[in-house]
Chains A and B, each alone.
Chain A
């Protein structure tokens, strides 16, 4: 049997992954700026991990974007959001707006995935005490962390954190992205589930 390492006591709450697939015309620049500002406004640290531009085919360009946003909520919770965007057969077209101005839009297909998870009692790599592994430096601490997660703050993880992450952060981003793409149904059903202030 494989010996377990202490860092494997790290637990995170995974969330369901919403997907968007769209074929039509959209404003890529606007979508790009919107998603980045969405996370920056919410005090996330935003990283563009990969930007891949593949050799264009006769049908258009294929691009891949892999983004990661993270935010430390409190000592217990660390939010992570992974966004994966893939465009296929994309090419620029000129569109006349209702006010008569011309603008460059993108025509093609786009695939967006919103993955997210929460680290609970994470090992703070930038701790002021200089310790990079607060909870996985020895077996006792690792067991204590698992005990806290599984029994002491289990309910709080559910209603206080899972719901906030799901309905206020991820699903809201999905809703606003749908709106940016001008999809047929662009309303957000869970808009006020976690309070009306955010």
Chain B
């Protein structure tokens, strides 16, 4: 089995307020397409409770950087107490979601993902030498790539939630 290195550890984003869940996932999808990651095993959970919907999404997008190295991310989106609220946008009433959301982003780097160099101790030894010394520059470079991806996604989410900061529910600001 190849070596998995945790490069970005639990980058966390927290937001509570108004946003659109559908738009958030659309934005996330656009990012997915622009940075062509493959889809990994995803986990979707949704619970309808008396205090709103509780949703959990876990994505494992991955991308092969070379025959030897692969980067992947773990994106965990937790949404608590999601409720529909009416808001005012440009003098118009609109229905949106109000919830608390926490997003965790982890970035990993996996070497020898096809397990071709993990069968014998000699092969593992050679593989380690290559990864740590001979291909050191590439290893470091690819680590920076995954850090950049995680930061890019974090900024995307941050920008998205900033857009909704000025939105207020109707009960606080009448729409007429």
A128 and B54 alpha carbons, distance in the complex (Å) = 54
A24 touches B26 (CB 8 A): no
Across the interface, which residues of A come within 8 angstroms of B39, CB to CB? 16, 166-167, 171, 190
Please tell me if the beta carbons of B48 and A19 are within 8 angstroms of each other in the complex: no
B33–A17 CB distance below 8 A:
no
Whether A19 and B43, one on each chain, are in contact in the complex, defined by CB atoms closer than 8 angstroms, is yes
Q: How far is the CA of A110 from the CA of B46 in the complex (A)?
A: 10
Taking A185-B22, A187-B22 as contacts, is the C-beta distance between A22 and B29 under 8 angstroms? Answer: no
Chain B: interface residue total (CB-CB under 8 A): 25
B22–A21 touching, CB < 8 Å: no
Taking CB atoms, residues of chain A closer than 8 Å to B60 are: 16
Task: Determine if B46 and A23 form an interchain contact, defined as CB atoms under 8 angstroms apart.
Answer: yes
Within the assembled complex, what's the spacing in Å between the Cα atoms of A143 and B116? 17
Cβ contact within 8 Å between A25 and B29 = no
Q: Give chain A's interface secondary structure class.
A: mixed
**Given the interface contacts A171-B39, A187-B22, does A18 sit within 8 Å of B46 by beta carbon?**
no
Chain A residue with Cβ nearest B29: A189
A24 to B60: give the CA distance in the assembly, Å: 26
**Cross-chain contact B44 with A187 (CB below 8 angstroms):** no
A184 with B43: in contact, given A24-B48, A189-B29 (CB under 8 Å)?
Answer: no
> Nearest-CB distance from A26 to chain B (Å)?
10
Contact B25 A17 (CB under 8 A): no
Contact of B40 among A16, A23, A174 (CB under 8 A): A16
Q: Chain A nearest CB: distance from B170 CB in Å?
A: 21
- A20 and B38 alpha carbons, distance in the complex (Å): 19
B120 proximal to A (CB < 8 A): no
**Is the Cβ of A185 less than 8 Å from the Cβ of B47?**
no
Is B48 within 8 A of A23, CB to CB? yes
| Nearest Cβ on chain B to A156's Cβ, whole angstroms | 16
Residue contact A185 to B25, C-beta cutoff 8 Å? yes
- Most B CB contacts (10 A, CB to CB) among A21, A25, A171, A178 go to A21
Cβ of B151 < 8 Å from any Cβ of A?
A: no
**Interface check A144, CB cutoff 8 A:** no
Is the C-beta of A148 less than 8 angstroms from some C-beta in chain B? no
- A184's contact among B41, B49, B53, by CB below 8 Å, is which? B53
Q: Is the CB of B46 within 8 A of A183?
A: yes
A178 touches B41 (CB 8 A): no
- Residue B82 lies at the interface, judged by CB distance under 8 Å to chain A: yes
Q: 1/0 contact trace for A176-196 toward B, CB 8 Å?
A: 001001011101011000000
Can you list 9 A-B contacts (CB < 8 A)? A19-B41, A21-B43, A24-B48, A166-B38, A166-B39, A167-B39, A184-B55, A185-B21, A185-B25
Chain B residues near A (Cβ < 8 Å): 21-22, 25-26, 29, 32-33, 38-49, 53, 55-57, 60, 82
Closest 7 CB pairs between A and B? A16-B41, A24-B48, A189-B29, A21-B45, A23-B47, A19-B43, A16-B40
